[in-house]
Structures are given as C-alpha cells and as structure tokens.
C-alpha cells in the first residue's frame, strides 16, 4: 500500500474505534482488539501474522504495565486505607491555610495521585474540595480545578504514575530524566491550570455545593492517622530510588557489580516493590494491622486494576499493529518531510488521537507507536527520549470533551453543566497539555 493509503487506513481505524465505543457501546478492550485486527487486514498484513502481532503487542505492554499497575495499585490502596493520603492532605491544608486553599489542593493532587489512577485519585481526594468549600465558602469551581490540575499534571508527566512510565518504557527513555523533566513540566502546568486559571474562570462560572457533598469523610474511620513525615517519605520513596540510580551510575564503572546493582535497585519494578513492602510494614504491621487485613487491602486494590491493565494492554496491541503494518513508518516519513521538531510531531499525533477517541492512555500508546519508527533513525539519547515522552503526555490531554471519561467525572462531581465543563475542565486540560509540549520542545534544544 502507498503511504497515503496507510495513513488513511489509520485515520479510518480511529474513527471506527470511536464509533464502536461511543455508538455501539462496545467495551474498550473488545473494541481495541477488533479494530487492531481490521487495521491489520486492511493494511495488507499477512493474516497469519496478525495474531502474532496481537500477542506481541499485548505481551510487550503487559510485561511492564501489569507489574507497575499491580504494585502501584496495592501501594496506593495501602496509603489510602491507612489514612496516609489523608494525613498529607490535612497537613498541607493546615500549612497553606484556608486563604491559599487552592494552592494546597494543587499540591495535594500532584503528590497524592502518584500511586493512583486518575479516576481513583479524583474519587478519593474530591472530598477535600467539598470540605474546604463548606468551611471557607470558597468557589467549588476554583477549588475543584486546583485539585484536578494537580492530578492531571501528575498523571500526564510524573513517574511512577502509570501512563507516563508506560510510554517512557516503550520509548526506552531515561527514567531519571523523566523525573527531572516531569517535575519541570508538572509544576508550572499545575500552577497555570489550577490556582491561576481556577481563580480566573471562577469569576464567570460558579456552581453551588453539590448535593452529594453535604458531608466530608476525610480522615474518618481510619483510626489515628500516620505521621506526615512517614506518609510523605513513602510517597517519594520510589522517586528517590529511581533518581539515585540515574545520578549514581555516572560515577560508577559500567561493567562493575555496583553498576548492575544500581540498575536493579533503580528500576521501577524494584522501586515500587520496595515502596509496597515498606508501606505494608510501616503503615500496617507496625501500627497493629494483621496480615489478613493487609492481604484484604491488596486484594481489593487488584480488582479494579484488572480492567485498567487489560484496556492498556489492548492499547498496546493497537500500537503494535500500527507499527507492524507500516502505518507508523508512513506517517513518520510524511511528517519528517514537514521539517517540524520531533517533540511537536509527537505532541500533534497524541493530540489528534486524544480528540478523536478520548482516552489519554490510548492516545499516548497510539502516538508512541506512530512516532517510534521515525525516532529509531534519529539516535536520540535517553534524555531526549524523555522529552519526547513529555510531549506525548502533553498532547494526550489537550481538548478533553464529551468522549473522555474525565470530562464526565469533573462534570458530575463538581455539579457543572456540559457548557461549564467545557469552560473549566477542557481549558484546564489544554493548558496542562500545551505546557507539556512547550517544555518538551524547549528541553530538546538543550539535551
């Protein structure tokens, strides 16, 4: 097939995916696998190879994401169930004060959502917004956007949050540079999209406290909360382990035993596993929790994680079919002729998929598959690949609208109409995404 035919085939497949999920209400996992098969057939792939490509795409994705998601979910659930997340939230609120509550909420969203999925983070932390709105009489929209901006920026750019760490692993980006560039992006993105934009738009959009927010359950039924220092240390522990490896390997001989141990300790698998075990002991065993209680928390955490893992794996299948069918190479060749920087190309691809089909994670994986064939010949180093990952994360969150589950989470929890959600949530997400694109493009110049 010609390059143009392959590109049109890819565009048609995304439209088909959208129709299956939104119109026919087919489950995203089934829709992604089915569309992957159709793409392979219509792109002229050998039918005998399509099943192998599906298996390869699922295996390559789940080999990493299943481990990270499973361990991360158990870690997050342990932090939530023992009140460690509540302690971080309450302490930060006390430090910032009610007058600067939106800044506290932005920091809470940025920190506390690290071990959580986006939807879970919103459900667990939104009560802080309502409690503050009742106490201070602040605008629900302004406070809510501050929290959502922190969560959104974290889930787009910071590891060990699942979406960015998955794309970074697929592109072989350096995880240490992911931490550096992720923080350099997430912090300004949160400030711009959260407290600043929230303060501005709340002058024009105001909603009453939703009926479901009459009471706050922050810190209730969890006994004595752990200390802030313990909760915060556990939260940043995986970041420290990954960062330690990145810094230390520059001072160690590559063939030495110490170098190999640093590579092992700083890998996300090891870092999150150690954080999990530390949480089990320090938050559980030392505070009188039985082994059965800890096991029940882990089991409860894994139930919702199964669907997320499967859908993410199916997104990996779709990505692999795009690569093996030649679509990625065709699009890469066409865009390369445009002379645009690779970060802008990555951002644009992710944004296009995001607008069409809604899911930020699928947009990240699809853009990753489309950009991979092009960057293979550019010989980018780990830091530059981290910048490309940030660009993909930025593009994958812009212009959220009615086909995005996050749009409806924001709308329903904050009690906004569709128009108000477009004015608030959609613009907030776009500010986060554009910030990612800009930071990634600037960083690429110096890396």
What the block records as the tokens of 283 is: 């938050």
Where b means 16+ CB within 10 Å and e means fewer, 109-118 reads: bbbbbbbbbb
Among 80-89, 221-230, 304-313, 341-350, the range with the most confident prediction by mean pLDDT is: 341-350
CB 154 within 8 A of CB 109: yes
CB 430 within 8 A of CB 399: yes
Mean pLDDT throughout 14-36?
77
Q: With 60 as the cut, is the pLDDT of residue 216 above it?
A: no
Q: ∠ CA(164), CA(165), CA(169), 5° rounding? A: 120
Q: With 60 as the cut, is the pLDDT of residue 214 above it?
A: no
pLDDT of residue 250: 66
Alpha-carbon gap, residue 329 to 311, rounded angstroms: 25
Percentage of residues of the chain with pLDDT beyond 70: 84
Kindly report the pTM of this predicted structure: 0.71
What the block records as the tokens of 117 is: 């999925």
Element (H, E) at 112: helix 101-112
Q: Which of 62-71, 175-184, 278-287, 346-355 has the lowest mean pLDDT?
A: 62-71
Cis peptide before 429 (omega within 30 of 0): no
What the block records as the tokens of 168 is: 């970074």
pLDDT in tens, 157-188: 988 777 888 888 888 888 889 989 999 999 99
pLDDT of residue 258: 83
CB 390 within 8 A of CB 436: yes
Write down the residue that tokens 């969560």 correspond to: 151
Q: Which of 11-15, 36-40, 433-437 has the lowest mean pLDDT?
A: 11-15
């Amino acid at each position: 097939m010609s390059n143009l035919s392959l590109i049109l085939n890819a565009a048609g497949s995304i439209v088909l995916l959208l129709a299956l999920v939104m119109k026919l209400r087919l489950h995203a996992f089934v829709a992604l696998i089915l569309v992957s098969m159709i793409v392979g057939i219509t792109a002229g792939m050998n039918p005998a190879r399509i099943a192998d490509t599906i298996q390869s795409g699922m295996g390559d994705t789940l080999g990493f994401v299943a481990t990270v998601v499973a361990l991360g979910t158990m870690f997050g659930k342990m932090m939530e169930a023992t009140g460690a997340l509540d302690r971080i939230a309450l302490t930060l609120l006390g430090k910032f004060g009610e007058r600067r509550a939106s800044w506290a909420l932005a920091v809470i969203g940025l920190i506390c959502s690290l071990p959580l999925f986006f939807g879970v983070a919103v459900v667990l932390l939104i009560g802080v917004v309502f409690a503050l709105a009742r106490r201070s009489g602040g605008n629900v929209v302004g406070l809510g956007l501050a929290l959502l901006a922190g969560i959104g920026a974290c889930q787009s750019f910071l590891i060990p949050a699942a979406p960015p760490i998955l794309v970074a692993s697929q592109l072989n980006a350096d995880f240490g540079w992911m931490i550096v560039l992720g923080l350099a992006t997430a912090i300004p993105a949160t400030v711009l999209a959260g407290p600043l934009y929230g303060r501005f738009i709340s002058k024009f959009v105001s909603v009453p406290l939703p009926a479901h927010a009459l009471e706050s359950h922050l810190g209730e039924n969890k006994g004595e909360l752990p200390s802030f220092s313990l909760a915060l240390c556990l939260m940043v522990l995986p970041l420290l382990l990954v960062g330690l490896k990145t810094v230390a390997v520059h001072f160690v001989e590559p063939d030495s035993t110490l170098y190999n141990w640093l590579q092992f300790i700083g890998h996300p698998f090891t870092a999150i596993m150690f954080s999990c075990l530390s949480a089990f002991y320090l938050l559980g065993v030392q505070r009188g929790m039985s082994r059965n209680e800890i096991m029940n928390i882990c089991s409860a955490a894994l139930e919702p994680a199964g669907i997320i893992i499967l859908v993410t794996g199916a997104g990996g299948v779709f990505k692999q079919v795009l690569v093996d069918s030649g679509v990625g190479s065709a699009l890469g060749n066409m865009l390369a002729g445009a002379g645009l920087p690779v970060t802008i190309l990555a951002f644009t691809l992710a944004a296009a998929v995001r607008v069409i089909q809604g899911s930020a994670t699928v947009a990240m994986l699809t853009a990753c598959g489309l950009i991979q064939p092009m960057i293979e010949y550019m010989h980018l180093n780990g830091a530059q690949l981290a910048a490309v990952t940030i660009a993909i994360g930025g593009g994958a969150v812009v212009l959220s609208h009615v086909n995005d589950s996050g749009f409806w989470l924001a709308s329903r929890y904050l009690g906004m109409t569709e128009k108000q959600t477009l004015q608030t949530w959609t613009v907030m997400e776009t500010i986060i995404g554009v910030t990612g694109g800009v930071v990634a493009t600037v960083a690429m110049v110096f890396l």
